[in-house]
Structure 1
């Protein structure tokens, strides 16, 4: 038992901790703190201190509010850069420099940084020595809770349960670190070893699990609590172990839980023993669901096919198992292999939720496998049997596309007309309208295009990929009908109604074509007043003001200090909570985003603008909003990116546009398909490009290095450019869909103009990606490049 506590007995300290009210988020939601904003260190994307500004008007933007930062000339600058990259050993080595001692002694924040580095580098004794000379409440009040938690961790690592308990108990429930403190407190009490301490540890863990049942450490807490309860309450311990097996079936914790459950066999009920049986359908499905979520598709197929052979024919889990097998084949694009699986669902699972899913996915699978008639049959069953389901209008639209591909235009038109009559507000209505227009274009019936759009009360175009589409093609129909003046006015209307959109970009280029010239990088000079009014040159940005509300927020003060020290992984939780607290105040969110942008926390700052502040893209950039656009479309890694852009003969705008889409400027990100880094390169492509670019000793892990990733990603773009006459749309489509597909599409319908070619791309993901990234390419060109509106050739190169 821990003894001789100064002033406050342990029992009282622990009970006071237990009696403290739950933090607000736990009281209201019974859940963990908000989801993290980014997957890795947010400042990594801006850690270089040697950027070369590539903005068109350098120095014209007013300086935004700043989060304090260490000067590049400071001896701590390289240490903080190491901290940002989690290079703890290097940072710790540099901190041993005797010349830094006076600076550390004079700055409590730097001492806290040194203590954190020592802990992460595996030197908890040094962490304790540093923190023993620091009074957090007096010397570092902003980060007092972080210092206390660090002290508890270090004490626990050096077997000092007494100090660990006191430090963990000092953290208030209002702190975002409170859940972590409870876990450490329970562990420290358990290590104390006396019965009364173990009982208090149980109480602490109960408090934690009641308040934070879905916290990231909940499984560890359950395991710890179950271990403590085995001797006195084996039934409850078994329930906790079974919960771990259910919630984290593929984890090491589940393996340990299984082992402990077998030692508790005498205390298990029959129902619990059944849950422990790995051969049951219930357990097989639990494992399969977990593997499916982790994209272990081959394993799901193998595991469940084997399991199905053992299950009784009437097992209620059979339909879901078949569905997971079918979906796994679909994920792997094994459409022919998936067809018999979906057929089995349709045969054995009629009148269940699985039937509808099998009709939908089976229809799409047959379509992808080339069985159009089979797909039509399944789609028809959807709108006839499940007429009120959201899949019904999808099925009618898909059927129309198939009929159109089979050169059955009259039947396709009838199907689309029926779809719009039955589901005028459906989410596929906008696509049905477009497909009707597409047929009119095929017949050169331009008046039908104009009449169709003019007769619509609303288009239903409500997303990034369709806003302005119908009115753009109405303008195009006027142009092809020889009504040039009307077409020009119609294109101008699209540019005004849909600022900085894909269809506005096309419209500006069409206006330039009407003037008879698209020469040069910037077509604004050709378009004239319509462009000059909406996209003024030399646009300066007004600074984003820092509201008093944000500046006074304790979480903001904590996050600012942590960012200054390079401890972005710690700052992330505070930043997430800030975003949640101020979600309904755009001005405060903009101030936060601006500060994060100034601190080079680009994955977080641009994501705030991109996903959590709404409506700002409904107008062109102005002096008031120009800063908003630069936050949402930042330019990290300027030195490296501009150097390789120049070497490759590429516009920096296209590299930035693809980077924003691929990684959100997070250099450490990895996709489920194992694409890595800023430009999301997969290993085969990266190795091939590395060899061609003369890079020796390439390894896959190097793709997390920003410089190397930009080098290889830009080389791949240069390869695509050489294959596509450097057409931006084709480079973008090739980056997502592969040049082999682009080459096929050029052969199949490359005689079409650019706008129709993009609409014809058969892969929805690549079609939308091309529109989205072309829009970003325009925005980057306007904000930082030489072209307020970049030129797009409507005539595509030969395959």
Structure 2
């Protein structure tokens, strides 16, 4: 029996486990100084002989503390690098060097690091030996909870229930590690084996599930708790097992739960026995929902098709089942097969949300299947019967596109105008305006374009794919009309109003064309002050300062010390919680992002700027904001990427732009389509490129290696460059949509200039991707390359 167990109290904490990126390299255009960050005490952070402090810039009095970093000359430098890369076996081998022992004995934080490495490398006995010599509260106060939890894990791995219990129970209920400590505590108490210990384990698991019902370990906790309660409280055990079957129906835990429920049959009510029947339509629907979320479309169609006849026509469950079958056909692009399913919903589920969804998806399905008239009828029902729904303006816009494709321009124009009159601020208004302008371009009616844009109070352009589009094409219409001075002024306005945007990039290129030259890497010099005033050379960044309230935050102090030790994934948990606590203060978020960037946590640092801090892209980079831009557009893996860029004759900016889009700099990411790594390569493409590049012994798992992924991804970009005359827009479009499609598009509308060509790309995903990545290509070129504005040829090569 475990004795002297501290009292457990309840505290809610937000947890997010984040992927660990690899180290980055220096940046080239203008040095971006680090955030001024908190420094741990010498006892906590390590001997000053082995750490260097990042230089403060600019100086301020009193000088704020900063996060220490390992000195390149320190014997711990290669170990920290291994830890950052999660190369635990390598780090563990290096830590066995006898020369390091005195240094480890001198520093509690380094001993904690050594214990972490030992545990991760599969040596729990060594980890526990190290931790037994530590008093976390005295020797490592900032990271006491981390040391205690690590000790509990090591002891549990060695089946030392007593030590594991005592260590886990000392984790404070305010710690982010508290939920993990509760599950470890329950495991240790159960391992102890005495009835009293089991009773305490039940208390701990109930506490955990009440506090964290959606935690990633909640299902395991329910199963563990149910096992403990089977004899003393079989009714509660059955409730927990049924919850697992309902919430995780496709998991192995659900299979085990079913087996245990059958063993508890004597304690089940008739209602609960019915829930065990996998042949019921209710169970079929539960399983289908889970399979639909996992994209097991064929199985959804098969299973629900057999169950449908068991429900009456008007039953909500039957409507949902039909919807899942229809959506599964849509996912599989089986639009003809999906049509009768949506029709059945319209027949049997009137005046429901299912009817509206069937009208929308059925209309799109018929359109994709070539039944344009059938699609028009369904879309018209939406704006007639559901005029106040957000689908209504979508339906009118889709109808206009169908009419336009059937060469019925007057009807299409009337539908678009009706849409804009009814829904002037609808989310499809910007697209309706553009479709009208596109028709005017086809007719050569440039004055109609100018008049239409001039008469607008609002364009509705609210995203990076459309901001500036209507005024850019107004400038194009002026140019086509021979009004060069007015066109130039309009292009300047677009570039001024929409900084670093896709349409600003096009506008600067148009201005260079008006000057008669787009030669050279940097067309900003050709454009003159209209560009140079916005994009100065050698822009030096000012530092991102650390707010006092953040510096005092315990979570920040923990993150700082973890980052010092290279334990970035643990630090990211603390930093994510900090982001939540300080979400309303942009200056604090920038300090967090800068800290993460300095710690090489690029997937998180750039995403923080990209998705959680707003407004900073509304102006061109300045000395005050240059650091913000470099955080949002970092340059990890620089040595490797630059080497392969030179070998492939590629601009590094285009590789970085594609990498940022594909993986967000996470080398371990894998998509639902099984694309892997930094540049998201699928296996057939990777194997073909590997063979062509002379890479022997290729395996799909190697795509998680950053160097190999950059090698093969850049080789694929080189292949695309050779097929597209190295045109940046075509390389980017080909990387997303495939060269076969790009070649076909060049055949169909490659006679158009670049701007109209991109707007004509029929795949919305590829069209948006091309705009987004071209914008990133420009930003990388400005921040780190030789071109403040890269040249884009408007005349496209022949396929």
User: Is the TM-score greater than 0.5?
Assistant: yes
Paired residues for 1:571-720 under 5 Å: 571-720=571-720
Q: Does 1:123 align with 2:96?
A: no
Q: TM-score, normalised by structure 1?
A: 0.94
Name the counterpart of 2:274: 274
- Residues 130-155 of structure 1: per-residue CA shift (max 9 Å, x gap): 11111111111111001111111122
How many angstroms apart in 1 are the aligned matches of 2:286 and 2:102? 57
How many angstroms apart in 2 are the aligned matches of 1:792 and 1:632? 23
Note closer, same or farther for the CA distance 1:69–1:287 as it changes in structure 2 (3 Å cut): farther
Give how far 1:54 is off: 5.9
Name the counterpart of 2:262: 262
How many angstroms apart in 2 are the aligned matches of 1:649 and 1:302? 51
Q: Does 1:155 align with 2:155?
A: yes
Relative to structure 2, which stretch is displaced further, 391-400 or 98-107?
98-107
Give how far 1:349 is off: 2.6
- Residues 639-676 of structure 1: per-residue CA shift (max 9 Å, x gap): 11111111111110111000000000000000011100
Name the counterpart of 1:454: 454
Q: Does 1:198 align with 2:206?
A: no
Note closer, same or farther for the CA distance 1:584–1:288 as it changes in structure 2 (3 Å cut): same
Name the counterpart of 1:530: 530
Give how far 1:314 is off: 6.3
How many angstroms apart in 1 are the aligned matches of 2:443 and 2:517? 28
Relative to structure 2, which stretch is displaced further, 85-94 or 663-672?
85-94
How many angstroms apart in 2 are the aligned matches of 1:718 and 1:460? 38
Contact 2:478 2:486 in 1 (8 A): yes
Name the counterpart of 1:33: 14
Name the counterpart of 1:509: 509
SS in 1 for 2:322: helix
Name the counterpart of 1:780: 780
Give how far 1:262 is off: 0.8
How many angstroms apart in 1 are the aligned matches of 2:695 and 2:274? 56
Q: Does 1:430 align with 2:430?
A: yes
CA RMSD of aligned residues (A): 1.7
Give how far 1:316 is off: 4.1
Relative to structure 2, which stretch is displaced further, 525-534 or 382-391?
382-391
How many angstroms apart in 1 are the aligned matches of 2:617 and 2:432? 26
SS in 1 for 2:793: coil
Contact 2:284 2:307 in 1 (8 A): yes
Contact 1:488 1:514 in 2 (8 A): yes
Q: Does 1:734 align with 2:707?
A: no
Note closer, same or farther for the CA distance 1:691–1:111 as it changes in structure 2 (3 Å cut): same
Paired residues for 1:96-115 under 5 Å: 96-115=96-115
SS in 1 for 2:239: helix
Q: Does 1:228 align with 2:201?
A: no
Name the counterpart of 1:549: 549
SS in 2 for 1:69: strand
SS in 2 for 1:538: coil
SS in 2 for 1:416: helix
Relative to structure 2, which stretch is displaced further, 157-166 or 746-755?
157-166
Give how far 1:451 is off: 1.0
Give how far 1:326 is off: 2.1
Name the counterpart of 1:55: 28
Name the counterpart of 2:188: 188
Give how far 1:359 is off: 1.6
How many angstroms apart in 2 are the aligned matches of 1:641 and 1:183? 43
Contact 1:755 1:794 in 2 (8 A): yes
Give how far 1:309 is off: 6.2
Relative to structure 2, which stretch is displaced further, 661-670 or 320-329?
320-329
Name the counterpart of 1:414: 414
Contact 1:33 1:215 in 2 (8 A): no
Q: Does 1:305 align with 2:270?
A: no
Give how far 1:317 is off: 2.3
Contact 1:54 1:785 in 2 (8 A): no
How many angstroms apart in 1 are the aligned matches of 2:358 and 2:430? 25
How many angstroms apart in 1 are the aligned matches of 2:246 and 2:84? 36
Give how far 1:328 is off: 2.1
Name the counterpart of 2:765: 765
Contact 1:677 1:709 in 2 (8 A): yes
Note closer, same or farther for the CA distance 1:86–1:288 as it changes in structure 2 (3 Å cut): farther
Name the counterpart of 2:355: 355
Name the counterpart of 1:68: 68
Name the counterpart of 1:211: 211
Give how far 1:76 is off: 2.6
Q: TM-score, normalised by structure 2?
A: 0.94
Contact 2:115 2:127 in 1 (8 A): yes
Give how far 1:517 is off: 1.1
How many angstroms apart in 1 are the aligned matches of 2:701 and 2:314? 48
Give how far 1:687 is off: 0.8
- Residues 181-213 of structure 1: per-residue CA shift (max 9 Å, x gap): 111222222222222222222222111111111
Contact 1:440 1:449 in 2 (8 A): yes
Contact 1:782 1:789 in 2 (8 A): yes
Where do 5+ consecutive residues of structure 1 fail to align?
4-8, 27-31
How many angstroms apart in 1 are the aligned matches of 2:332 and 2:90? 42
SS in 2 for 1:89: helix
Give how far 1:444 is off: 1.2
Name the counterpart of 1:29: none
How many angstroms apart in 2 are the aligned matches of 1:363 and 1:68? 60
Give how far 1:312 is off: 6.4
How many angstroms apart in 1 are the aligned matches of 2:335 and 2:649? 40
How many angstroms apart in 2 are the aligned matches of 1:161 and 1:249? 32
How many angstroms apart in 2 are the aligned matches of 1:202 and 1:99? 47
How many angstroms apart in 2 are the aligned matches of 1:300 and 1:74? 58
SS in 1 for 2:216: coil
Note closer, same or farther for the CA distance 1:300–1:563 as it changes in structure 2 (3 Å cut): farther
How many angstroms apart in 1 are the aligned matches of 2:275 and 2:569? 38
How many angstroms apart in 1 are the aligned matches of 2:151 and 2:32? 44
- Residues 682-705 of structure 1: per-residue CA shift (max 9 Å, x gap): 111111111111111111001000
- Residues 26-61 of structure 1: per-residue CA shift (max 9 Å, x gap): 3xxxxx61444x4x21x32x26xxx4x46245xx44
Name the counterpart of 1:750: 750
SS in 1 for 2:68: coil
- Residues 418-448 of structure 1: per-residue CA shift (max 9 Å, x gap): 1111111110011101111111111111111
How many angstroms apart in 2 are the aligned matches of 1:706 and 1:266? 56
Contact 1:35 1:576 in 2 (8 A): yes
Name the counterpart of 2:498: 498
Note closer, same or farther for the CA distance 1:56–1:83 as it changes in structure 2 (3 Å cut): closer
Give how far 1:481 is off: 1.1
Contact 1:512 1:523 in 2 (8 A): yes
Give how far 1:590 is off: 0.9
SS in 1 for 2:142: helix
How many angstroms apart in 1 are the aligned matches of 2:15 and 2:115? 27
Give how far 1:174 is off: 0.8
Contact 1:69 1:599 in 2 (8 A): no
Paired positions, count: 770
Note closer, same or farther for the CA distance 1:596–1:417 as it changes in structure 2 (3 Å cut): same
Contact 2:468 2:503 in 1 (8 A): yes
SS in 2 for 1:549: helix
Contact 2:292 2:328 in 1 (8 A): yes
Contact 1:523 1:789 in 2 (8 A): yes
Give how far 1:75 is off: 2.8
Name the counterpart of 2:48: none
Contact 2:311 2:317 in 1 (8 A): no
SS in 1 for 2:119: helix
Note closer, same or farther for the CA distance 1:411–1:771 as it changes in structure 2 (3 Å cut): same
Name the counterpart of 2:366: 366
